[in-house]
Every structure is written in structure tokens, then in C-alpha cells.
Amino acid sequence: MKTRRPKVIPFSLDATFFFERAVQSLDRYHYDKALKYFRRAVEYEPDNPVNHCNMAGILSEMGRYEESNDVLRSVLDRIDPDMTECYYYLANNYANMELYEAAEDALVRYLENDAEGQFLEEADELLDLLHYELNRPTKLSTIKSKENLFDHDRARELLEAGRFSEAVRLLEDIIVRQPDFLAARNNLGLAYYYMGLFDKSVQTISEVLEAEPGNLHALCNLAIFYQHSNKAKQLARLMEVLRKTVPFHPEHVFKLATTLGIVGEHHAAYRHFRRLLRTGELTGEPSLHHFAAVAAANIGRYDEAQRFWQQAERLDPESEVPPFYLRKLERIRTGEETPPTHYHFHLPFDEQFRKWERSPEMVSEALKRDPLIRSSFFWALRHGDRRTKTQVIQALGLVADDEVIDALKAFLVDPGEDDEIKRVAVLVLRSIGLQDPLTVAFSGRTLTLEARRRTARLPVWDTAWQHVLEKAMEQMSGLYDVVQQHDMMTLWVDYLSRVYPQVPKLRNAEGWAAALEYWTAKMHRQTITYSDLVRRYGASQASISRYANRIDEACGIREKLKMSLNLSLFNEQG
């Protein structure tokens, strides 16, 4: 008789096993079970302070603040006195218990002992709350990281307003003064990214993670960078970490949830948004309900998406965003339209631009007045499709402040951007009167485009002018190098600037484009004939000649060419 082998599948019970069970319970909002599993994880690894902090976090979410504080004090007293973030958690618990003096003491203790400032941004917000509740400022004389907080707050405001180059300058100064200010370094990485300086942004975020491998803001920022640069392998490795992360603080939960949504992990994002809504700390934020609706729509929970958007509408009745998506929802239900994939509390860029297409003044005013719209334009400049980027560049030309000029210059040196769109950016920069040499990455080469002539500032850029330019670019492509094409664009802007506002009707775009090529060839001493232009452009010789004469009358090209030729002969003879 054969001995039967028991059909038992062995498995290992360890801290990781119970941690994963706790996370599963959290996802289902079974807090009692989650607490039980976190307690078991503590039993298996009693000297691991992270397990204790997870348990304290669950107790805090359940409203059992005193028990949570007992656990946190135990970590500081017995397990790891250097785990200074426990002081920050204690401060939050005391604030929730309305023990504001104790919260202040714990928060000051945290800031005095943690110069790296992992929770620096959140601590600053809590300081504002305590200032209000105690009706007096907190004594901050001994706080190591406080000296740069004001500048850091200013830099964050600049980032939110889309003024990225100003933010970069301020953040770089902060880091020179305080190299271990990780929150500032994190935001510097974001600012580099918004300006298109991808390598610098990754390097900066990597420096944060070298100092603090678990820094959630850095991990989330890096995930977004990888998503938008199509670095699938790096993103996949990073997502393994983020899926297992259970943040303690509501702002960190919000950061993780929005990041997961942006990278397409809508189920996970939805769970975290629901968790935030259940805790009640951010339920007054209309954007949170909008984000939850976006996540719900992407996983097919359309009834819940509708309720979230309706709540967002009640919280912010003046916003156009919730009504816009509620109107779209029926078409999303039937599959006629896809759910929104971006997690921003504003209208899609195309929808915004459609409203303003017939009124350039409205675009200019909106960009100057509304930081959120301005920021969305800069975002679209980096992540929109070809048509959207062209629209954005032309719209930004209406504002033409230093921030716009810096953004367009950064766009020109990005090797990943389309050459044709860069030509539009060059044109806009010249049309608004920028005379500096421009460094441009064209077709794998880095070139410096000198300004050939000064031009008056053009207050608008008309689509008819653009049409002429595109005709010329199309025919000159492959026959002229990028410097010569740049000179053609500069000539066109020069002519328009000189005759504005009496710009002639440009009904014959082909004839005007041929005239531009004619003078470009002459300026670069290339052989050109009217018969060749007639053949390629389909315009009559009389039209091309007439338009060439008009350009010459305004710009004096023949006279300049004569002077150039005489100077050349003099130099040769000398």
C-alpha cells in the first residue's frame, strides 16, 4: 500500500505577507482587518520602524489618534530615535485632536531635527494652521530648514503660474544655500521638466532619491517623466515600488493617486481617491472629486463618475469643467468618446482654444490673468500633438513676456521636437522683436541663427501670413539650408513689420512665397530664375515680380545687396 503524500501547499508567513494582506484590506476599506495585519507584521519584524508607522497610520485614519501617538512615541523611544518623521505624524495627530500647543511642539521638534525636510511643504501648511488656531506665530529661530521656506513658497507659486525659468533661478539659489533641501530639489526637477530639459530633470530627481530612496514626491515625479518620455522599462520598475506604497499623509495619498492616474493605473488611482474622500480631509476640494470622476470613468464606473462630477459642480459652480464632462459622459458610456486621460482640473486644451480662436485678445488676456490656463499652455507646448503645439506657440506670441521667450528658447534646443514647429517658434520670436542670436537643434545639428535685421513688434500673427510662410517653406525644403530658411522667415517678418498695419491682401499666397524665395536666393548669391519659380509655385511671373518689388520697396534689399557687393570687392582688392 502506497503512502499518500499530503496535498498541502507550503507558504511562508512573514512580515511581507501580512503587509500585502493589509494593503488589500485597505483597498477594500476594511480598516479593522488592515490594522490586524499590520499588527501581525509588527510581531514578525518588531524592530522594523516602518511596520510600526504603518500601524500608526491606520490608527490615525480610524480616528484613534491617542493609540497612534503611543505607537509613534514607542518608535522614537525604543526602536529608532532618528526616525524624525514620527514627530511630524505626531503633530498631525495632535492637530486632529485640537491639541494645538502639543502639535506645535511636535512640529518644531520635527523641523529642528530634520534638515532634509521630507515633509517640508506639508509642515509649512501645518504651521499656517497652527498660527491661525493659536493666534500667534510659531517660534522658528532654531529650525534649520526655515530660512529658505519663504523663497521656496515663492518658487512654488511661480511653478503654478507657469513661470518656470523664474522658478528655476530661485530654486537653484535655494539649493546652493541649502543643498539638503530635498523639497526644493524636487521642484527644481519639475521646473526643468516643464522647460523641456529632460536630462537635467532626471538628474535632479535622482539626486533626491540618492539622499532619500523612499521620497514619494521624487518617485512620483520620476514616474511622470518616464511616462511622457516613453521609457517603458524604467517606468515598469518604478511602478512596482509605487503600487506597494501606502502613504500616511493625505497630501501624499493625493500625489500618489494623481501620479497613478497620469501613468494609466486608473484602478489604483481610483482606490486612493476613494480613500481620500472617505477620510473627509480633502472632500471640500472640487478637483479631488473631478480626479475621482476621471479615474471612475476610465474603469467603467460611469454612475460613480457622474456623482463625482455633480459634487465637483456643487463645490465650484463657476467652473466650466464639471458641466463639460457631464455633457460628455453619455457619449463616454456608449463608447462614442473615450474618457479623459489627463488629471487636470481644467478644460481640454483643444476646447479652450476653440473658444478663443476668433479673438486673439481673449487668448492674450486669459494667459496673462489666469495662472492655471497659462500653465496648461506651457504643458500643451511640451505634450500636445503637432497642431496643438503650433497653436500654443502662436498664442504665446501674443503675451511675449520673458517667461514666454525663455520657454520658446528651451523648445528650440530640444532635439526631440519637430523641426517645422521650431521654425514657427523662430518666426514668433522674431515677430515679437527678439534680436538675440537663437540656438536651435535642427535635424541633429545645433545651429546659431543670427538676427539679420531689426523688426518692429507685431501685435498679432495672422493665419494668412502663416500660409505664405508655409508655402515658401514647402518649396524651399531640400533646396536651402536651415540658415537660409531662417533668413527667409526673418525677411517676411521684417516686411510685415514695416508695412503693418497696412498689410496688403494676401490672396495669392503662392506669388508672395515665390517672391520671398527670390530675395532669399539673391541674399545668399544663389542662382534663381523667374521661370523656375513659376514652375514650382504655379504663380505668374508678373505676380512674383510685383510682390518682389513690394518687398524691396519696404525693406530696401537691392540697396543692401549693392552695398554688400561693393564691400566684398573692396575687401578682395585690399
Q: Give the pLDDT confidence of 248-271 residue by residue, as tens digits.
A: 788 888 889 999 998 889 999 999
Q: Is residue 424 part of a domain?
A: yes
Q: Which is more confident, 387 or 55?
A: 55
Q: Is residue 209 part of a domain?
A: no
Listed residues 451, 474, 505: the one ending a domain: 451
> What pLDDT is attached to residue 51?
82
Domain co-membership, 364 together with 439: yes
Q: Is residue 479 part of a domain?
A: yes
CA angle 534, 536, 540 (to 5 degrees): 20
Domain co-membership, 390 together with 477: no
Measuring CA to CA, how many Å separate 474 from each of 433, 470, 555?
25, 6, 24
Q: In this structure, what DSSP letter does residue 446 have?
A: E
* Cα Rg, the chain, nearest whole Å: 30
Listed residues 400, 430, 451: the one ending a domain: 451
Which residues, listed in sequence order, are joined to residue 438 by a DSSP beta bridge? 449
C-alpha closest to that of 343 among 370, 367, 379: 379
**For residues 515-538, average pLDDT:** 91
Q: Which domain holds residue 533?
A: 461-574
Split at pLDDT 50, 70, 90, the class of 92 is very high
Listed residues 451, 484, 502: the one ending a domain: 451
Q: What tens digit of pLDDT does each residue of 209-227 get? A: 998 888 889 999 999 888 8
Domain co-membership, 441 together with 504: no
Q: Is residue 138 part of a domain?
A: no
Q: Which residues lie below 8 Å from residue 447, measured CB to CB, with a gap of 6+?
A: 439, 440, 441, 482, 483
**For residues 385-391, average pLDDT:** 80
Domain co-membership, 368 together with 426: yes
Domain co-membership, 420 together with 468: no
435 φ, ψ (degrees, to nearest 5): -105, -5
**Average pLDDT taken over every residue of the chain:** 81
Domain co-membership, 473 together with 507: yes
> What pLDDT is attached to residue 11?
44
Quick check: 519 pLDDT over 50? yes
Quick check: 566 pLDDT over 70? no
Domain co-membership, 437 together with 466: no
Domain co-membership, 517 together with 562: yes
Domain co-membership, 475 together with 508: yes
Quick check: 565 pLDDT over 60? no
Q: What tens digit of pLDDT does each residue of 23-70 get? A: 787 777 778 888 888 888 888 888 888 888 888 988 988 889 999 999
Domain co-membership, 395 together with 435: yes
Q: Is residue 78 part of a domain?
A: no
Structural domains of the chain, count: 2
Domain co-membership, 406 together with 479: no
Instruction: Record the cell numbers describing residue 226, joined without a space.
Output: 518616464
Q: Is residue 365 part of a domain?
A: yes
Q: What CATH number does residue 520 fall under?
A: 1.10.472.10
